[in-house]
Amino acid sequence: MRRFRRTYNFSTPSWLRDIQTMLGDFIIPIAVFQALRTLIFPTFFDFILLAVLIGLAVKTYYQP
């Protein structure tokens, strides 16, 4: 028996694409500022926030 894989073509809403575009413009300066802040005042929260910002930057710049 042959199974067919369904393909779903969900497009993101236009308001979400606008937010992602704005995020892509500001994420690198915010991540650099957070990296400098982490070097000066290293706390656990700073490391977590920096990791989240780097993850968001990678997601926005390597988006298909």
- Domain spans of the chain, in order of start: 28-64
Say how far apart CA 20 and CA 14 lie, in whole Å.
10
Query: pLDDT value at position 1?
Result: 55
Say how far apart CA 26 and CA 43 lie, in whole Å.
23
Owner of token pair 């993101």: 12
Query: pLDDT value at position 55?
Result: 92
Query: pLDDT value at position 13?
Result: 81
Torsion angle defined by CA atoms of residues 36, 37, 42 and 45, in that order, rounded to the nearest 10 degrees: -120
Query: pLDDT value at position 50?
Result: 94
> Chunked in runs of 10, what are the mean pLDDT values of the chain (64 residues)?
61 80 87 94 94 90 74
Say how far apart CA 39 and CA 26 lie, in whole Å.
20
Whether pTM exceeds 0.85: no
Query: pLDDT value at position 29?
Result: 92
